[in-house]
């Protein structure tokens, strides 16, 4: 297996001789999506295996892989940047179509097939999509995160700002009064 920082794999040998090949590498700094970047803590490791399928003139391939690392997401309570583990497994059916400039997805018999036009297959979009789809909706910096003070916005994990009462809405005040009356 070749260790690489470039997210691609050359399928020339597979196209001529058949069999399978694999590659692995790492992504540093961030995962790149179309309009945003997901910051990373440390290197994110990836590995793929590609096998040429018999039939169809040797132009179809099965790609399977895994990507794992730590995305830096904001804690849902205190907004502190928090390293969050992400691990994704993915599989794709590929078909070689000479002349295509970039990956194209088609649907055939209710199955998605990715078309590629050059033996140097760019794995970047596949790795980014798999990683992004496994991101959790929210994360916590720690299980007992105290969050932000609703009065002054201070991070209550770092400082005691002295605001112990939470501001209430009219409904909250009415419910508190009702609860107080019920206790009496």
The length of the chain is 184
pLDDT at 176: 74
pLDDT at 63: 96
Q: Identify whether the C-beta of residue 125 lies closer than 8 Å to the C-beta of residue 115.
A: no
Angle at 51 between CA 50 and CA 54, to 5 degrees: 150
How far apart are alpha carbons 36 and 157 in whole angstroms? Answer: 29
Domain ranges, ordered by start, for the chain: 2-133, 148-184
Could you identify the residue written with the tokens 């794992």? 68
Mean pLDDT (10-residue bins), the chain, 184 residues? 64 90 93 92 96 77 97 96 97 92 89 92 93 96 93 92 72 76 70
pLDDT at 180: 74
List the one residue out of 92, 147, 138 whose CA is nearest residue 115: 92
pLDDT at 109: 86
pLDDT at 171: 79
| Per-residue tokens: 162 | 């002295």
pLDDT at 170: 77
CA dist 14 → 81, 95, 125 (Å): 43, 12, 21
How far apart are alpha carbons 137 and 51 in whole angstroms? Answer: 34
- Indicate the DSSP class of residue 137: S
| Per-residue tokens: 7 | 């997210």
Is pTM beyond 0.85? Reply is: no
Q: Identify whether the C-beta of residue 61 lies closer than 8 Å to the C-beta of residue 14.
A: yes
């Amino acid at each position: 297996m070749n260790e690489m920082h470039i997210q691609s794999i050359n399928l020339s040998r597979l196209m001529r001789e058949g069999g399978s090949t694999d590659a692995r590498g790492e992504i540093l700094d961030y995962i790149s999506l179309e309009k945003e970047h997901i910051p990373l803590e440390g290197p994110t490791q990836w590995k793929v295996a590609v096998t040429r399928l018999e039939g169809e003139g040797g132009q179809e391939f099965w790609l399977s892989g895994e990507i794992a690392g730590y995305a830096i997401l904001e804690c849902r309570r205190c907004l502190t940047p928090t390293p969050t583990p992400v691990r994704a497994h993915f599989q794709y059916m590929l078909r070689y179509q000479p002349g295509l400039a970039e990956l194209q997805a088609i649907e055939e018999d209710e199955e998605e097939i990715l078309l590629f036009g050059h033996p140097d297959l760019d794995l970047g979009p596949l790795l980014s999509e798999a990683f992004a789809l496994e991101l959790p909706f929210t994360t916590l910096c720690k299980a007992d995160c105290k969050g932000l003070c609703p009065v002054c916005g201070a991070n209550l994990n770092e400082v005691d700002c002295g605001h112990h009462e939470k501001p209430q809405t009219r409904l909250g005040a009415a419910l508190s009064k009702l609860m107080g009356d019920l206790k009496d």
